[in-house]
Amino acid sequence: MVAATMAPNPQEAPPMMLSQETKEKEGPVRRQVSLSVVQRVVQAANGVKQLGLFASLLAPNALPTNRVWAAANAGDDMLVLQHLAGLPNDATQLRPVLEYTNRHGQTPLIAACAKGHIRCVQALLMHSANVYAQDNQGHTGLHHACLHGHFDLVGVLLSVQDPALRNREGLSAMDVCRRNIDGHRQVLASAKCLELLEQRSRLFEGWLYESVNNLASSALGLRSLQSWVRRYAVVFSVGSPDFVEIACFDVQHGLRQLTPQSTILFRVHDPVVLNSQRKMFNPKPYNFTIAGSRKMPGGYLGRPDLFELAAFNAAEYERWASFMCVAARAMTAHGAQHTAPPRGPSPSDPLYTKSA
């Protein structure tokens, strides 16, 4: 109880949390030793299908576009390279092969990403496959890699791809990871994917007070009655010159939650009001108000609104004011990925919880 009431150190970033219960659920599943007769029949049928697949790949009348897609989907990187090597080194000849899609709109690269075939992905990238291609749902290969928890593949894709592209639901790859975690799907693998995405997109971070509704402010509709809650805020690039994402995380027992408690899309070109003093009770001396929209579940945005935040002390206030008023615009204008400025000695954000 004493640790829960201690004020956090503004210079120290809390590590990401992953509960022991989650790790146990995500642990290896013991394979059954004995197989029933039905299972043996199913395995035999699958073997026949696999033989049929490779026969179709080697059939002389099969189109090259179909061959590359099928080889990538099956995870045969040598066959992918063999088919591509047999084509002229000409973009007009390669494009129909690399951009061939199945009925779901999946290119060979997307199909390989969905199955986690990292060698096939690397082979296709060597031949300039389009990493920004999207299927019928708007998913890129990175979306599929995150959806299925292929964290090693996410690392490869992030070396050549901006992760900000969104699918038809308005979800980025980071949103897909957060949805997996909130839905208790592929939690451990999704957390590893999320860590890579955060490292790629992080612009700024630090401790904040966030003004949130309570019973009184909700009933009377008065912002001045809202309460302050302590959050650890991380600012991420969203690939837009006009917005950045401010993700506000709860911190429990010194560990940052994997998914944010609230998310604000901050309009970087709107004025920031410093020392606004909007509170009727418990005003904070180092406060500021920004304009933006609340990010809702499912990729939707709330109505434009004002959000009141406050720094812990004068030094943190200077850091946040400088970022909000100057640095955020510069970072988004250049369209480049940046990291936060030095904030003193702090531990790196480990993926797992500290042992009890």
| CA–CA distances in Å: residue 153 to residues 64, 69, 150, 337, 348 | 25, 18, 5, 20, 22
- Homologous superfamily in CATH for domain 42-198: Ankyrin repeat-containing domain (1.25.40.20)
pLDDT of residue 297: 77
pLDDT of residue 212: 84
CA 208 remoteness from chain centre: 22
Mean of pLDDT over the chain: 81
Kindly state the DSSP code that residue 324 receives in the 8-state scheme. Answer: I
pLDDT of residue 314: 95
Name the one residue in this structure whose structure tokens are 């970087």.
268
**336 with 342: CB under 8 angstroms?**
no
Domain ranges for the chain, please list them: 42-198, 199-334
Average pLDDT, integer, range 18-34: 49
User: pTM to 2 decimals?
Assistant: 0.77
Q: What is the pLDDT of residues 325-340, one digit of tens each?
A: 999 999 987 654 433 3
Q: What is the pLDDT of residues 84-98, one digit of tens each?
A: 998 888 888 889 999
Question: Is residue 166 scored above 90 in pLDDT?
Answer: yes
- Residue that wins the pLDDT comparison between 333 and 120: 120
pLDDT band per the 50, 70, 90 thresholds, residue 347: very low
- Strand segments, DSSP code E, in 171-215 are 202-212
CATH of domain 199-334: 2.30.29.30
pLDDT of residue 15: 78
Q: Mean pLDDT lowest for which of 173-177, 209-213, 265-269?
A: 209-213
- Residue that wins the pLDDT comparison between 56 and 151: 151
pLDDT of residue 336: 45
pLDDT of residue 5: 44
Buried b or exposed e, range 220-259, using 16+ CB within 10 angstroms: eeebebbbbeebbbbbbbbbeeebbbbbbbbbeebbbbbb
Buried b or exposed e, range 266-296, using 16+ CB within 10 angstroms: bbbeeebeeeeeebeeeebebbbbbbbbebe
Query: Tokens at residue 17, please?
Result: 């949390």
Average pLDDT, integer, range 20-44: 47
Query: Tokens at residue 158, please?
Result: 């992030």
Average pLDDT, integer, range 126-134: 95
Kindly state the DSSP code that residue 221 receives in the 8-state scheme. Answer: T
pLDDT of residue 300: 78
Q: Mean pLDDT lowest for which of 57-61, 74-78, 86-90, 260-264?
A: 57-61
**Please, which residues have CB within 8 angstroms of residue 331's CB and are 6 or more apart in sequence?**
203, 237, 244, 338
How many degrees, rounded to 5, is the angle at CA 300 between CA 330 and CA 276? 55
Question: Is residue 345 scored above 90 in pLDDT?
Answer: no
Question: Is residue 140 scored above 90 in pLDDT?
Answer: yes
| CA–CA distances in Å: residue 229 to residues 29, 172, 232, 291 | 40, 27, 10, 19
Give the Cα separation of 77 and 188 in Å (integer): 27
Name the one residue in this structure whose structure tokens are 């599929």.
144
pLDDT of residue 93: 85
- Residue that wins the pLDDT comparison between 335 and 283: 283
Give the Cα separation of 137 and 168 in Å (integer): 6
